[in-house]
Amino acid sequence: MSVNTESSLKTTNRKIHNLLGLGLALIGILILLIVPTLIPPYYSYLLATIFTTALLATSLNLVLGYGGLLHLHHGVFYGIGAYTVAIILTKTSWPFALAVILGPILSAALAFVIGWFCVRLRGLYFGMLTLALGQLVWAIVYRWNALTNGDNGIHAIPVPDFLTSISSVYYTTLLVLLVSLLILSKITKSPFGLTLLAARDNPVRSESLGINVKQHRLIAFVIAGFFAGVAGVLFVLLERSVAPSLLFWNKSAEILIMCLMGGLTVFLGPTLGAAILVLLSMIVGLYTEYWLLVLGLLLLILVLFLPQGILGYICEKIKGRRQRGGSLDASN
């Protein structure tokens, strides 16, 4: 087989795979648009929860999977986005649209402040500093009763009339998730995203080539904080209440496990991990109170048997088959 023929076959196969992926994505979106008309409201609520959590996990993976940074307290940006909207809507007369805009912006601003200190460190030291600073923010929210109502949280958050039904919230969370995933996908495939991957794989060589590794990591940290704030806004629309537990470290641990479960090296891995973990928490909660114990066992199984995650494992198998098939064609 000539080189030109082999190259054209690879190009054709790539186009077929892209078209197949696009077709499956459109079918999936169409199904999600129809689903609320076929299921009870509770399941629409459950799906909206999965959408919100999927966005949160995907935002973390920009730093964790693509940046290679052990971020242990991503939930703090989720909580700040939610609390910003809650405080504005309950304690001021500012318009709803402004609250929705300020939530992600303040989350990104906090991410810039925390990231500015953290990107100077690497590995476990980076993770421990994010954990410490995140817990500091949680303590402030927990103790600032005049502004945040302390451990009581904020409840009965008013929202516009068009967002009072679960179906409207469902479609809103779905739309925001799809748009956010599209933007994050473009970021990961952009020159910035490829540079971030290079800095993850070999930071010393990247710096020797003139890449400002710290700057790229800080930008990724801020982008991740922004989209975590977007997820926090969606949480308020869904739950109409917030509590300090949103910012506590165990929430961040759940997000981390979602990324590990789905696969850090696959863009949609955290989305799959979020769906599995949300459904598992609901099912386990029906039968036992020891959800954290189940969560720990899940993490142990993942580390021992599926270190690349579920979707990562599937993609590796598919890639291996393609390579074996390609080598057989070449030999023929």
Q: What is the pLDDT of residues 214-254, one digit of tens each?
A: 999 999 999 999 999 999 999 999 999 999 999 998 889 88
Interatomic CA distance for residues 245 and 251, integer angstroms: 7
Tell me if 138 is assigned to some domain. yes
Tell me if 313 is assigned to some domain. no
pLDDT at 286: 83
The β-bridge partners of 154 are 242
Q: Is the pLDDT of residue 13 over 90?
A: no
Tokens of 272: 């799959």
Q: Is the pLDDT of residue 101 over 90?
A: yes
Q: What is the pLDDT of residues 274-319, one digit of tens each?
A: 999 999 988 888 888 888 788 888 888 888 888 888 888 888 877 7
Q: SS3 for 309?
A: coil
pLDDT at 5: 56
Q: Report which of residues 122 and 137 the model is more confident about.
A: 137
Interatomic CA distance for residues 97 and 94, integer angstroms: 9
Tell me if 111 is assigned to some domain. yes
Quick one: pLDDT band at residue 33, thresholds 50, 70, 90? confident
What's the mean pLDDT in 42-61?
A: 94
pLDDT at 317: 78
Tell me if 305 is assigned to some domain. no
Q: Shortest CA distance to 248 belongs to which of 92, 137, 83?
A: 137
Tell me if 53 is assigned to some domain. yes
Q: In the predicted model, what is the mean pLDDT of the chain?
A: 88
User: How far from 285 is each of 280, 282, 294, 324, CA to CA, in Å?
Assistant: 8, 5, 10, 44
Boundaries of domain holding 168: 41-247
pLDDT at 25: 74
Q: Shortest CA distance to 102 belongs to which of 234, 225, 229?
A: 229
pLDDT at 298: 83
Q: Is the pLDDT of residue 331 over 90?
A: no
Interatomic CA distance for residues 141 and 272, integer angstroms: 31
Tell me if 80 is assigned to some domain. yes
137, 78 contact by CB (below 8 A): no
Q: What DSSP letter does each residue of 205-254 carry, written as one string?
A: HHHHTT--HHHHHHHHHHHHHHHHHHHHHHHHHHHS-B-GGGGSHHHHHH
* pTM for this model (two decimals): 0.90
What's the mean pLDDT in 242-270?
A: 90
Tell me if 317 is assigned to some domain. no
pLDDT at 4: 54
pLDDT at 166: 92
The number of C-alpha atoms within 13 Å of 51 and in the hemisphere containing its C-beta is 26
Domain count, the chain: 1
pLDDT at 140: 94
Q: Shortest CA distance to 298 belongs to which of 259, 257, 262, 265?
A: 257
pLDDT at 287: 83
Q: Which residues of 276-308 are buried (b: 16+ CB within 10 A; e: fewer)?
A: bbbeeeeebeeeeeeeeebbeebeeebeeeeeb
Q: What is the pLDDT of residues 160-183, one digit of tens each?
A: 988 889 999 999 999 999 999 999
Rounding to the nearest 10 degrees, give the CA dihedral for residues 55, 60, 66, 72: -160
pLDDT at 186: 94
Tell me if 284 is assigned to some domain. no
Tokens of 156: 């009965």
pLDDT at 308: 86
Interatomic CA distance for residues 66 and 331, integer angstroms: 35
- Identify the residue whose tokens are 């030999």: 331
